[in-house]
Amino acid sequence: MKPVPSLPRHRGGTWPGGIVFDSPVYTASISASGGSVLAATERIYRFAPGAARWQWGEIPEGYGDVTCVAVEPHSPGKPRCMVAATIGALHFFDDEGVTTQQLPEGYGPEVHEMIWAPRAGAEDPTMCLHLNFGDRALRLLPHDGGPLRQFEGKFWPGDRADDEPLAMASDGDRGVAYAMFDEENWELEVWTLIDFETNLFGRRIVPAPSFFTGARLAVAGRAVAVAFDHVGGVWLTRDLKEQDLVELESFREAEGVAEFDRGAVVAFEGASADAGLFVAAQETARRSIIARVDATGRVERIAELELDEAREVRLIQQMAWDDTRRTLWCAAGRAGVLGSTAPGSPVPIGEGAVVAAAS
């Protein structure tokens, strides 16, 4: 695969960027916070705050590929923590090295997604790592300085004892969202934290497609976006407490794309409810686009990616906004990592963009 970005005009400027690595390996997960960016699947890539080049390192021996990654929002005076999940284990990277912790019995073996979010329901603003196994979820309590972190479950806002999050999202602050599939009514329940101090969650419903395989969420304060896996369509609300989720018509149709292959990826441009929403979607069988939806609903494409051979899987797997570099980073499958930088900002991609990490 060789995606080629097209650089359209945007407010008198362009969103320049491109593929980061000359010889990438498959990359399906990416996370960013406070200038730290972590991406992985077959190899771990990381971009440190203030760095000019990416680093890469091998996955801890004996654990196989990384299934997902998460970067902890930085707290002053606390080491920055990045996490990579593999089959049966979590690997914590901080300033002192790597710590591996096995997943508890009865969970996994594969973590589908991870987020750092406050401990909603416990009136504790400390960021905790939340793990989604697809059919169950856990979160890790704040690290007490011991060798292992403690797990807890049953933290979601659903009103039934057997509720389990299908998808989750955090904005790196106090914006948290969960989605749960109601098979009886064939709809997706979307819950968002409205008020942290009172643990008040808002709830909205999105009709599920006839062929349901999963969904993705993005959150920025009370703003929430939903995209269903494979079948396409993107729903958005700027205030889940006051407004329903509404489908964005611009992403409803896909020319010549099989119905099962229309899934989109979503990410917000920050933690404010009026932040731009990025959508990566398949426009034709050979072309993916990345578009930005502003607070007024205006849709502008910021990149096009053409494939020079038959596509086997969706190109953009996950996206993360890097506010310090004003850059949208994308885990782009066999293309590795793709970057698109906001107009007027220095482009953090160039010659010699990646080196082997020292550890």
Stretch 341-355: mean pLDDT: 76
> Tens digit of pLDDT for each residue in 219-276?
999 999 999 988 878 999 999 999 999 999 888 766 666 665 678 999 999 999 999 9
**Secondary structure (DSSP) of 154-212:** --S--SSTT---SEEEE-SSS-EEEEEEETTTTEEEEEEEEETTTTEEEEEEEEPPSS-
Q: Quick one: pLDDT at residue 215? A: 93
Give residue limits of the domains in the chain.
5-356
Phi, psi at residue 259, to the nearest 5°? -55, -35
17-30 average pLDDT score: 92
Tell me what percent of the residues of the chain surpass a pLDDT of 70. 83
Q: Which of 19, 2, 21, 3 is nearest to 352 (CA)?
A: 21
Residue 170 confidence (pLDDT) above 50: yes
Res 309 pLDDT > 80: no
The predicted structure's pLDDT at residue 357: 58
Among residues 174, 175, 156, 152, the alpha carbon closest in space to that of 166 is found at 156
Q: What pLDDT sits at residue 159?
A: 60
Share of residues in the chain with pLDDT > 90 (%): 50
pLDDT at 113 over 90: yes
pLDDT at 6: 35
Peptide bond into 109 cis (omega under 30): yes
Identify the residue with better confidence: 25 or 230. 25
Whether 128 contacts 90, CB under 8 Å: no
> 76-97, pLDDT tens digit by residue?
667 778 999 999 999 998 777 8
Q: List Cα–Cα distances, 6 to 3, 14, 285, 299, 312, in angstroms.
A: 10, 10, 17, 16, 21
Provide the CATH topology of domain 5-356: Methylamine Dehydrogenase; Chain H (2.130.10)
* pLDDT tens readout for residues 58-72: 998 899 999 999 999
pLDDT value of position 89:
94
Return the pLDDT at 242.
95
Mean per-residue pLDDT of the chain: 84
Q: Comparing C-alpha atoms, which of 219, 193, 203 is closest to residue 272?
A: 219
Across the range 339-356, mean pLDDT stands at: 77
Query: Once rounded to an integer, what is the mean pLDDT over residues 99-103?
Result: 90
Task: Kindly indicate the confidence band of residue 135, based on its pLDDT and cuts at 50, 70 and 90.
Answer: confident
Q: Which of 148-152, 287-291, 327-331 has the lowest mean pLDDT?
A: 148-152
- Reported as a single tens digit per residue, the pLDDT across 182-212 is 889 999 999 998 988 888 889 999 999 888 8
- Write the pLDDT tens digit of every residue in 35-58: 999 999 999 999 999 898 999 999
Contact status, residue 65 vs residue 25, Cβ threshold 8 Å: no
